[in-house]
Structure 1
């Protein structure tokens, strides 16, 4: 399953790596790709293993805001 999350506060390569790494550590997430210019994260995941809420929490733990 694929989902695009809108994330505020990402501005540099470090931000990109922090968010991508946090998501990739979650069991069930296969791809996490940040687009800094658009403020979006495209995530490919197995929805039987991981909930969108879990991914949002992982991003917020890195200090960024997920916007609906």
Structure 2
């Protein structure tokens, strides 16, 4: 399953690394890609191992507000 999340504006390249590292370490996450200029995060994950709420919570706990979610 894939999820695309719109975040508040990302202010620095280290945000990209922080989010990718934090989400990628979660069990069940296959890939994490941050689109810095668009302030979006794309995550491909196995929904039998992790749910989208856990991914959203992780990003929130890293200090970023998720403004919108699209599931593919």
Q: When the two structures are superposed, what TM-score results if normalisation uses the length of structure 2?
A: 0.88
Determine the C-alpha separation between the residues in 2 that align with 1:27 and 1:43.
12
RMSD: 0.9
| Structure 2: gaps (5+ residues) | none
Q: When the two structures are superposed, what TM-score results if normalisation uses the length of structure 1?
A: 0.93
State the SS of the aligned residue for 1:18.
helix
Aligned length: 68
Runs of 4+ in 1 over 4 A off after TM superposition: none
| Structure 1: gaps (5+ residues) | none
